[in-house]
A and B are shown apart, each in its own frame.
Chain A
């Protein structure tokens, strides 16, 4: 697979303030990438630079190996063949659904246009609404129309800016799954922006975590969760705690919960003080275990309980337990540590905020 979207050291300023700083990333043809980060991290600015609304002050953007943006020149938005879906859908209120979708299809004949619209409407399940106006549609339907409109002209890249943020939570994952299928079906290379990790996990092949304008890690959802590159990523993606530890040898680390190892090398000197990431699914309930902890807090999550446990030395760990194991706050329970991945950070690298 060739790299279809390529950003090289891209930097973008807004009104003189650096917002995106030297971001490099690649998406292969047909891949779905997601930029994940809190609001204000520069992800939307990055997306707008890819779309061509903003000119970079450094670096370059290539689409299908063609240079489209650099410091000297920007290919106008309308010539880039990028589709974009905005958070508020931005449907044209004066046009019917059909004409919204047809907006970018001027170059097609009437017959081809009708066929394309029919095909997309079918794919996105909006065939019955083609002749209604946007204000009569529900949020989910508007979302589908916005996607249909954006992919109708078969753009080379599709950009989605917080596409599901305005939908209610119940609808979000369902629509995300459906739209992912459509994008797969149409084989469209897609870059989306989100502050919601569940959305990112549901949609994307590759996820990039952004912080203060920089891309901290660019990898699969699985790796982000299990092998975060920094404590920031560990904290932003999923839950967990950092325990103090000391390196025992090149494959294991000593903590108050015993010696932890996943069999791989961690690259620290023996004896170094470190912090070890412990995810809630690494801490398993075990009534026979000698290791016990006190239940400080618990959150009922339907299928699971998320227990917050206090160890004897006062540190806290989280544990995700099937919800038929019910233990009131204040009781002591036996636990066992089963880490599939032992993630070790240097001691001075602390989680921000």
Chain B
């Protein structure tokens, strides 16, 4: 029974991608040909430029700080070790809105320059924030923590002995870093990089706001501008090809990382204490990403929120708040339950179909929200129309929209995209419960349900909570799928932030944005601490 359910679930969750696949053969009345002739090349080249820029930036911001906080001590290093993860709490579109408000022509920075030097607009050069460079900077600032986290884990797991051997063979600490530590961490860094690039491809809020023609903005334009859902689906398939490459890269690197595992014996890390200009350089290098990616935008949001406090329509704001809470809470609970079910399913019935189902369900995180939304809307609309037509013909009842345009569609899309997060968390938790513990429980006379209650649940509690929390915050932040699939007039914090920003009412968007960021901090901190603790001998 359980294996069958796992496979049914897996099939259900594959509907969006399968829908897009079938669209490949469909006709788009010339829209696709038009895309190929005109915009497709631009989408591809801009996407590649964006990925390259973000890729370089996250490596610069992520790798060296990871090494510095893991292997050295300097003033503030312990705090920075945790704080470097904070920008992960900041959705890219929110940081983009914030910096635009600060750095645009009318913003405080350019105003100050004009006042100080008595210049007027056009008489001086200032880097335009609404540009490809701006998008690269914004995405890089909030996505580098993926590289930082995975690199730090890799550095933490490296056997100290391997580094020490290198020293005894005559290599200086710097050479040891470039010749031993860095090559050993490379697979982890590449895995982090591919996650960053997936997120870059999935981003809609930032590129839309900056007016950059990449895949996600192209899909929106094709559907809502040119009115061709088939061409939008076909464009989504091209985007999925890019994503697939990244997924393969990521999985391959994780495989490699296993061969690069150095030791199961850990001794305490000998952290070198930096002094003088070295410590100041390290502090600046590690402090800058936190400052630019988190502290400055949060301070700006707070300032705006205080400024616009009086303008807030309290009851409308509470509606937004509860809508977000409802969606995020519902998805978190459902996702936690489903993930628990699937993870147990694989533990109890590790047959080939169940294991493949598990892996397929785990791939949703790679699919951009825009793509999932397109893949959900098409079949759901078809279902609604079919049922409606059938009921009209036979019973003269109009059923209208049953799935599309309801919360069902939204939550389903969220689950397809974010279930892997919960699945991985719970599966890792379940992995810590060795089967020998079950056997030990049974030998002491416990029935299976008692084992579940007295052994598994206490051990799993933490993972379940983490999974729910991660889901909750991911949903809170999600923009493109919500935008496409939400019921008419149903607003959330993320949607409201997006709408206000697009009406150039950036300051008013701040209170919603701030709520999203604050909620996002919690799981980020939990994640960071759990990684620090993961290394034996690192108490």
Assuming the contacts A78-B172, A94-B260, A133-B259, asked whether A86 and B166 have C-beta atoms less than 8 A apart, the reply is no
Which of B170, B172, B262, B270 is the one whose CB lies under 8 Å from A90?
B262
Q: Chain B residue with minimal CB distance to A101?
A: B169
Given B167, B179, B184, which contacts A77 in the complex, CB threshold below 8 Å? Answer: B167
Q: Which of B28-36, B156-164, B193-201 contacts A (4 or more CB under 8 A)?
A: B156-164
Question: What does the 1/0 interface line of B377-388 toward A look like (CB < 8 Å)?
Answer: 000000000000
* A104, B161: Cα distance in complex, Å: 15
Contact A106 B265 (CB under 8 A): no
- Verify if B165 is at the interface (C-beta below 8 Å from A): yes
What's the least CB distance linking A277 to chain B, in Å? 37
**A92 contacts partner chain B, Cβ-Cβ < 8 Å:** yes
B261 within 8 A of A: yes
**Are B259 and A88 in contact (CB-based, < 8 A)?**
no
Residue of A78, A82, A83, A84 ringed by the most chain B CB atoms within 10 A:
A78
Query: Which B residues touch A93, using CB under 8 A?
Result: 184, 259-262
Partner of B265, one of A53, A87, A104: A87
Contacts A88-B161, A90-B161 given: A106-B170 contact, CB under 8 Å? yes
What A residues does B264 contact at CB under 8 A?
Answer: 88
Contact status of A149 and B262, CB under 8 A, knowing A86-B164, A94-B184:
no
A88 and B263 contacting across the interface, CB-CB below 8 Å: yes
* Contact B184–A153 (Cβ < 8 Å): no
Indicate whether B64 reaches chain A with its CB closer than 8 angstroms.
no
Write out the residue numbers on chain A whose beta carbons fall within 8 Å of the beta carbon of B161. 86-88, 90
In the complex, A84→B166 CA distance in Å? 10
Chain B residues, Cβ within 8 Å of A104? 168-171
* A78, A88, A91, A94: the one within 8 Å of B170 (CB): A78
**Inter-subunit contact A149/B169 (CB<8 Å):** yes
Q: Does A209 contact B (CB under 8 A)?
A: no
A residues within 8 A CB of B270? 53
The distance from the CB of A147 to the nearest CB of chain B, in whole angstroms, is: 12
Chain B residues whose CB sits within 8 angstroms of the CB of A106 once the complex forms? 170
In the complex, whether B183 has a CB less than 8 A from a CB of chain A is yes
Contacting B at CB under 8 A, from A32-68, are: 51, 53
Interface size counted on chain A using CB atoms at 8 A: 29
Name the B residues within 8 Å of A91 (CB-CB): 162
How large, as a class, is the contact surface on chain B?
Answer: 20 to 34
CB distance from B267 to the nearest CB of A (A): 9
- Cβ of B180 within 8 Å of any chain A Cβ, yes or no, is yes
Max chain A Cβ within 10 angstroms of own Cβ: one of B165, B166, B265 = B165
Please, which residue of chain A has its CB at the minimum distance from the CB of B186? A94
- A5 contact set on B, CB distance < 8 A: none
In whole angstroms, how far apart are the Cα atoms of A81 and B168 in the complex? 7
**CB of A135 within 8 Å of the partner chain:** yes
Q: Are A103 and B166 in contact (CB under 8 A)?
A: yes
A321 to B107, CA, bound (A): 95
Cβ–Cβ contact B162 & A78, under 8 A: no
A150 contacts the other chain (CB 8 A): yes
CB distance from A12 to the nearest CB of B (A): 14
Cβ–Cβ < 8 Å partners of B162 in chain A: 90-92
Contacts of A150 in B (CB 8 A): 165, 168-169
Residues on B with C-beta less than 8 A from A88 are 159, 161, 263-265
Q: Are A84 and B168 within 8 A (Cβ)? A: yes
Task: A138 to B264: give the CA distance in the assembly, Å.
Answer: 16
A94 touches B183 (CB 8 A): yes
Residue in contact with B263 in the complex, picked from A78, A90, A133, A159, CB distance below 8 Å? A90
Closest to A155 in B: B168
Known contacts A86-B165, A88-B161, A81 near B170 by CB under 8 Å: yes
Q: Mark B228-268, 1 if CB is under 8 A from A, else 0.
A: 00000000000000000000000000000001111111000
Return chain B residues, CB-CB under 8 Å to A94: 183-184, 186, 260
Q: How far is the CB of B183 from chain A (nearest CB, A)?
A: 5
What A residues does B171 contact at CB under 8 A? 78, 103-104
Shortest distance from the beta carbon of A109 to any chain B beta carbon, whole Å: 16
Of residues 101 through 128 on chain A, the ones whose CB sits less than 8 Å from some CB of chain B are 103-104, 106
Candidate in B167, B170, B183 with the most chain A CB atoms within 10 angstroms: B170
Complex alpha-carbon distance, A159 and B167, angstroms: 13
- Of A80, A82, A93, A149, most buried by chain B (CB within 10 Å of CB) is A93
Smallest Cβ-Cβ distance to B176: which chain A residue:
A78
Q: CA–CA, A77 to B173, complex, Å?
A: 10
A77 vs B262: C-alpha distance when bound (angstroms): 21
Q: Mark B40-61, 1 if CB is under 8 A from A, else 0.
A: 0000000000000000000000
CA distance A76 to B174 in the complex (A): 13
* Contact among A53, A79, A133, A153 for B164, CB-based, below 8 A: A53
Q: What residues on B are CB-neighbors of A153 within 8 Å?
A: 169-170
Task: Flag B262-304 by CB within 8 Å of A: 1 or 0 each.
Answer: 1111000010000000000000000000000000000000000
For residue A94, which residue of chain B has the nearest CB? B183
| Cα A161 to Cα B266 with chains together (Å) | 14
Q: Which residues of chain B come closer than 8 Å to A155, judged between CB atoms? A: 168
Contact (Cβ within 8 A) B168 A77: yes
**Closest CB in chain A relative to B394 CB, distance in Å:** 66
On whether A78 and B167 interact (CB within 8 A), knowing A94-B260, A133-B259, the answer reads yes
| Contact yes or no, B159 A90, CB < 8 A | yes
| Other A-B pairs, 8, CB within 8 Å; known A77-B167, A88-B264, A93-B184 | A81-B170, A82-B168, A87-B161, A88-B263, A90-B162, A92-B162, A133-B259, A149-B165
Please provide the 7 A-B residue pairs with the shortest distance between their CB atoms, ordered closest to farther: A104-B169, A90-B161, A77-B167, A86-B161, A84-B168, A94-B183, A90-B162
5 pairs across A/B with beta carbons < 8 Å? Answer: A51-B164, A76-B172, A82-B168, A83-B168, A90-B165
